[in-house]
Amino acid sequence: MKPEKPNYFDLVYQVVRLIPSGRVTNYGAIAHYLGIKSGARMVGYAMNAAHTMVDVPAHRVVNSQGLLTGKGHFSTPTEMQELLGKEGVNVVKDKVQNFEKVFWNPEVELAL
């Protein structure tokens, strides 16, 4: 068939796009929500492409530790922290504070 862009990226974009301001999520949650257990890497991979998407707040997506692992992929390594901080998410040393508080679980918030 034709490799017209795998829906994989789109699926991730949709979920990430639904993340409300002041809230963050992790790759594993999105991956699990999409139905892929060990697809956390794929989510991050999709985020890389999402970097070109303005509607995809990739800065709201962090790893299971709440660390801004993808900050290095942004224009500036501080932009991710700045954006989160401006949205109400306390980020110290590239790490999200109160991660479990600001954590946005798609399976719960979307009432799956």
Partner DNA sequence: CGCCTGACGTTGC
Partner DNA sequence: AGCAACGCCAGGC
Taking only Cα atoms into account, the Rg of the chain, rounded to an integer number of angstroms, comes to 13
Least distance to DNA, CB of residue 79, Å: 10
Instruction: Please say whether the beta carbons of 85 and 68 come within 8 A.
Output: no
For residue 74, which of 62, 86, 89 has the smallest C-alpha distance?
62
At 18, list the tokens. 């639904």
Using the contact rule CB under 7 A, the part of the chain among 33-41, 88-96, 100-108 near DNA is 33-41
Under the binding rule (CB under 7 A), the answer on residue 106 touching DNA is: no
- What residues between 65 and 94 interact with DNA by CB under 7 A? 65, 69-74, 80
Q: Which residue among 38, 55, 111, 112 contacts DNA (CB under 7 A)?
A: 38
